[in-house]
Chains A and B, each alone.
Chain A
Amino acid sequence: MQEDNYNVQIDDIFEGPMDLLVHLIKKHEVDIYDIPIALITKQYLEYIEWMKIMNIDIAGDFIVMASTLTKIKSRMLLPSHEEDEEDPRLELVKPIEEYLLMKSAAEKLAARSLLGEDTFVRNPRPENQLMDHEGEFIKVGLFELIDAFQKILENISPHERVDITADTISVRDKIVQIVEIFESLGSTTFNELFPKNAEQSEVIVTFLAILEMVRLSLVRIIQNTRTGIIRLFYL
Chain B
Amino acid sequence: MEDIKNIIESLLLVTEEPLTIARIKSILIEPGRKELQNALTELAAEYEARKGGFFLREVAGGYQIRTRPEYREWIKRLIQPKPLRLSKPALETLAIIAYKQPIIRSDIEHIRGVNCGGILRMLLERKLIRILGRKEIPGRPIIYATTKQFLEIFDLKDLKDLPTPEEIATLGDGSLENME
**Which A residues form the contact surface with B (CB < 8 A)?**
14-18, 22, 25-26, 29, 31-32, 61, 64-65, 95, 97-110, 112-125, 127-132, 136, 138-139, 141, 214-217, 220, 235
- Nearest CB to that of A18 among chain B residues? B113
Selected contact of B113 from candidates A17, A130, A214, CB within 8 Å = A17
* B152: A residues at CB distance < 8 A: 115, 128
Q: Is the CB of B66 within 8 A of A121?
A: yes
**Distance, CA A8 to CA B154, complexed state (A):** 30
- Nearest CB to that of A20 among chain B residues? B113
Nearest CB of A to B177, in Å:
11
Nearest CB of B to A34, in Å:
10
Nearest CB of A to B25, in Å:
21
* B126: A residues at CB distance < 8 A: 130-131
- Nearest CB to that of A11 among chain B residues? B88
Q: Is the CB of A97 within 8 A of B173?
A: no
- Nearest CB to that of A125 among chain B residues? B16
* B82: A residues at CB distance < 8 A: 116, 129-132, 136
Q: Interface readout for B2-37 with A: 1 if CB under 8 Å, 0 if not? A: 000000000001111100000000000000000000
Nearest CB of B to A18, in Å:
4
Q: Is the CB of B66 within 8 A of A16?
A: no
**Distance, CA A61 to CA B110, complexed state (A):** 11
Q: Interface readout for B139-180 with A: 1 if CB under 8 Å, 0 if not? A: 000000000010011111000001101001101111110011
Q: Is the CB of A105 within 8 A of B99?
A: yes
* A115: B residues at CB distance < 8 A: 59, 66, 152-155
Q: Is the CB of A101 within 8 A of B169?
A: yes
**Distance, CA A110 to CA B155, complexed state (A):** 11
**Distance, CA A107 to CA B173, complexed state (A):** 8
Q: Is the CB of B174 within 8 A of A100?
A: yes
Q: Is the CB of B65 within 8 A of A122?
A: yes
Given A106-B91, A120-B67, residue A16 in contact with residue B113 (CB < 8 A): yes
* A139: B residues at CB distance < 8 A: 85, 87, 90, 122
**A16, A31, A141, most chain B CB atoms within 10 A:** A16
- Nearest CB to that of A119 among chain B residues? B66
**Distance, CA A129 to CA B127, complexed state (A):** 11
Q: Is the CB of A106 within 8 A of B155?
A: no
* B111: A residues at CB distance < 8 A: 18, 95, 98-99, 102
* A102: B residues at CB distance < 8 A: 92, 95-96, 99, 111-112
Name which of B40-48, B68-76, B130-138 contacts chain A: B68-76
Nearest CB of A to B85, in Å:
5
Q: Is the CB of A122 within 8 A of B69?
A: no
**Distance, CA A64 to CA B155, complexed state (A):** 38
Selected contact of B15 from candidates A104, A113, A123, CB within 8 Å = A123
* A113: B residues at CB distance < 8 A: 69, 155
Q: Is the CB of A217 within 8 A of B67?
A: no
Q: Is the CB of A119 within 8 A of B92?
A: no
Given A100-B179, A115-B153, A130-B126, residue A61 in contact with residue B66 (CB < 8 A): no
